[in-house]
Amino acid sequence: MFMNSSSIGQFFEKKFRFCKQSQWQLPAIDNIFNQSNQTVPELFWIKSVLNHVKDQLIDYPLGQWKKFIAKSDLSSFITWYLRNEVNAEFVTREWCKLYECLSAYRIVTPQAEFNSVHLCEAPGAFVASLNHYVMLNYPKSLFNWCATTLNPYHEDNAFRSAVSDCRFIARTLGNWEFGDDLTGDITIKGNVDKLIERCRKMGKISLVTADGSVDCGDCPNDQENMVYSLHFAEVVAALQVLDNDGSFILKMFTFFELTTISLLYFLVNYFHTVDIFKPATSKQCNSEVYVICMGFHRTYETMSYVSEMASRMPHIKSPMFNLDTIPSDFIQQVHDCSKKFVTLQSEAILSNINNFERPICHQQQNDLQYEMWNEYDRRYRIKSIPDSLKLMHNKPFSDVSRVLEQVNIFVCD
């Protein structure tokens, strides 16, 4: 895809909505988790196409490629602007992506009190972004939040938490829940139970975000299978704390395997709407998308499913549903959705390969970055908020020793 300033708008319209059919229903609870995983035949060739395109990157030296991708990142001016001109708090790419989700869908509604829970949230930019959105649009709302993540101060997480910036966590430590064993690992049922207990005291939870990811650098073609148990745990935790009619934002990648498709089918059945959205500030070459679930139906039936799911943690590998219990018109929609996002990702990779081989001039690159910011600004109109409404305002570094006393010390600098 050749990019010019007039095609910038399409970066903001990477969306797909599942269209729920009234005859769809979930299998009985005693007939779930009894098939092994498989790639769904209709999706197999889409997976092969994507892997074939990704494999072309093997020819390029990783270090040079990463440098090139960072330099040609179209959203770099957006983050610069939000940090330096809007003076927003703790701006990262994640901050920008969540702000897009919140602006593109009616996730936050005016309420006297808005409570949210954030799973897999270190270093915390989603929270800062949501705070900015609520303070700008509903300044009279009281915003309460709680977050959980792999505990960056826990020795066992030294190599897997990968959080290099603990400023936000240290200044808001009272809002973080690291669970029963203090690792913060959401795939451990005891940690989810501790989070639920804490959230009960918060009141109505209107939004849960889950942004978990694991390093799949060694097997990029198997990302979907590697993150399944994490996604499963995020759904189990989210649906136990979310109130009726609430929203859930879940980061996912591809939808080729029966495991992921079952999870998606489950969500589509228990939310009023489910959309797949790739924000313009999400890296164009990766598979990351956000599943935007709105209008949770918190019924007895839903919660029975969720507790059955919880009993399967932590090392879930099997899909929830047999392939023959998932309607073919749902599989067709997953196929259409996957085809759309795989096409976009493949085009982005091929366009980058082309630009790597024949670099575009510096001025052209700057113009595109400027246009991207212009469109982001035109759509989302992000203004400054007073410092007093920021989450780290007047918050000293917490007494981190309180956490360190309880865990095997690992200090994050």
Ligand X SMILES: C[S@@+](CC[C@H](N)C(=O)[O-])C[C@H]1O[C@@H](n2cnc3c(N)ncnc32)[C@H](O)[C@@H]1O
Q: How far apart are CA 400 and CA 178, in angstroms?
A: 13
Q: Does 212 bind ligand X (CB under 6 A)?
A: yes
Q: How many CB atoms lie within 10 A of CB 214?
A: 13
Q: Does 126 bind ligand X (CB under 6 A)?
A: yes
Piece of 28-36, 124-132, 216-224, 382-390 that binds ligand X (CB under 6 A):
124-132
Residues 186/234, Cβ–Cβ less than 8 Å: yes
For ligand X, the closer of residues 212 and 279 by Cβ is: 212
Burial 183-204 (b: 16+ CB within 10 A, else e): bbbbbbbebbebbeeebeeeee
Report, in Å, the least distance between residue 353 CB and ligand X.
26
Report, in Å, the least distance between residue 184 CB and ligand X.
5
Piece of 114-122, 252-260, 285-293, 403-411 that binds ligand X (CB under 6 A):
114-122
Piece of 29-37, 135-143, 211-219, 355-363 that binds ligand X (CB under 6 A):
211-219
Q: Does 214 bind ligand X (CB under 6 A)?
A: yes
In sequence order, which residues have a C-beta less than 8 Å from that of residue 294 and are 6 or more positions away?
A: 105, 106, 107, 247, 271, 272, 273, 274, 275
Burial 365-377 (b: 16+ CB within 10 A, else e): beebbebbbebbb
Q: How far apart are CA 282 and CA 279, in angstroms?
A: 5
Report, in Å, the least distance between residue 188 CB and ligand X.
8
Q: Does 122 bind ligand X (CB under 6 A)?
A: yes
Q: Does 286 bind ligand X (CB under 6 A)?
A: no
How many residues belong to the site for ligand X (CB under 6 A)? 21
For ligand X, the closer of residues 213 and 273 by Cβ is: 213
Among 73, 89, 94, 371, binds ligand X (CB under 6 A): 94
Q: Does 150 bind ligand X (CB under 6 A)?
A: yes
Residues 356/66, Cβ–Cβ less than 8 Å: no
Q: Which of 97, 251, 278, 390 is catalytic?
A: 251
Rg of the chain over Cα atoms, rounded to whole angstroms, equals 21
Report, in Å, the least distance between residue 293 CB and ligand X.
17
Q: Does 161 bind ligand X (CB under 6 A)?
A: yes
Per CB under 6 A, which of residues 216..255 are in contact with ligand X? 230
Among 96, 117, 120, 344, binds ligand X (CB under 6 A): 120
Catalytic-residue membership of 251: yes
List binding-site positions.
Answer: 124, 211
Among 73, 89, 177, 211, binds ligand X (CB under 6 A): 211
Q: Using CB atoms within 10 Å of the CB of residue 140, give its burial: 0 to 12 exposed, 13 to 18 middle, 19+ buried.
A: exposed
Q: What does the block give as tokens for 106?
A: 């009616």
Report, in Å, the least distance between residue 28 CB and ligand X.
30
Pairing of strands 113-119, 142-147: parallel
Per CB under 6 A, which of residues 384..413 are in contact with ligand X? none
Report, in Å, the least distance between residue 185 CB and ligand X.
4
List binding-site positions for S-adenosyl-L-methionine.
Answer: 124, 211
Per CB under 6 A, which of residues 16..75 are in contact with ligand X? none
Active centre residues (catalytic): 251
Question: By the criterion CB under 6 A, which residues form the site for ligand X?
Answer: 94, 120-126, 149-150, 161, 163, 184-187, 211-214, 230
